Amino acid sequence: MTATEVFWLVLAGVGMGAINNLAGAAGVLGLFALDLASGLTTTVANGSLRLAAIAIGLFGWVGFRTRGIRIPARAWRLAACTGPGALLGVTMALRLPEAIYHAYLLTVMVAVLVQQLRHRTPTAVAAPTRTRAGAFLALSLVGLHMGFVQVGVGLVAILALSRFHSRNLIEINTTKMALVLVAATVSLLEFTRNSAIAWGPAAVLAIAAGGGSYWASRWSVSKGHAAVRTVVVVITVLVIAKTLWQVLRAGA
């Protein structure tokens, strides 16, 4: 790898790790660097993002631990539900055309934005789980999204966890680390089996993303729910604008 390639991968990785820890949707930064700086195909760039996702989850978890916040046991049970969906999502990523990817991502981002703008002031009390079957279905769909696109995964996880886990974004963000770790690991193994990982660029991006995630996890605890929610809304709007532009350009 050239010094220029490493520079862009590190820059994108730090931004991706920090933003994905706080909200989500920064996977587009990683895709941009892997595409333009490393010259990877869309499929390999998509698959290579999974190593950075694991780093984000792992270093975010460590960052929360340094602030005295642990991932509860229930979070890992919820995370296990993402595994089957992640396998299906990788199959979709390997076989479906890019037009479906863009249309799907735009729909999800609009739904997340509406959810966040209607979000009520949180309390420290966890929201009641509707049903076990409902939680499994919702989190399986989260896993499918993570396996399919690895962009906006944090926002989709927030949407599901706010209904089945908690209304507090700090609590949601800690649980989100477990979901990311499980789904990204399953996805990485499946992409590896299909030879869709560029390990050199993926490793550089992952190391930088881990550092950004560690910093953001500590920052989010000190700033609280309101600051994190602001980041969620801003990033969602930016992703909607970018994705809509890509869809319109493809249809022109």
Task: At 158, list the tokens.
Answer: 């927030």
What pTM, to 2 d.p., does this model score? Answer: 0.76
Residue whose structure tokens are 């590896």: 192
* 250 φ/ψ sector (left φ>0, alpha ψ -120 to 50, else beta): alpha
Angle between helices 42-66 and 3-22 (to 10 degrees): 60
Report the pLDDT value the prediction gives residue 128, as an integer from 0 to 100. 45
pLDDT digits (tens, 9 = 90+) for 113-135: 776 676 554 444 444 455 677 78
Report the pLDDT value the prediction gives residue 80, as an integer from 0 to 100. 93
Residue whose structure tokens are 């076990």: 132
**Helices of type H across 149-224:** 153-164, 169-193, 199-223
Q: Is the pLDDT of residue 164 over 50?
A: yes
Q: What distance in Å separates the CA atoms of residue 55 and residue 88, rounded to the nearest whole number?
A: 22
CA torsion, points 112, 116, 117, 118, in degrees to nearest 10? 100
Query: What letter does residue 36 receive in the DSSP assignment?
Result: I
pLDDT digits (tens, 9 = 90+) for 141-152: 999 999 998 877
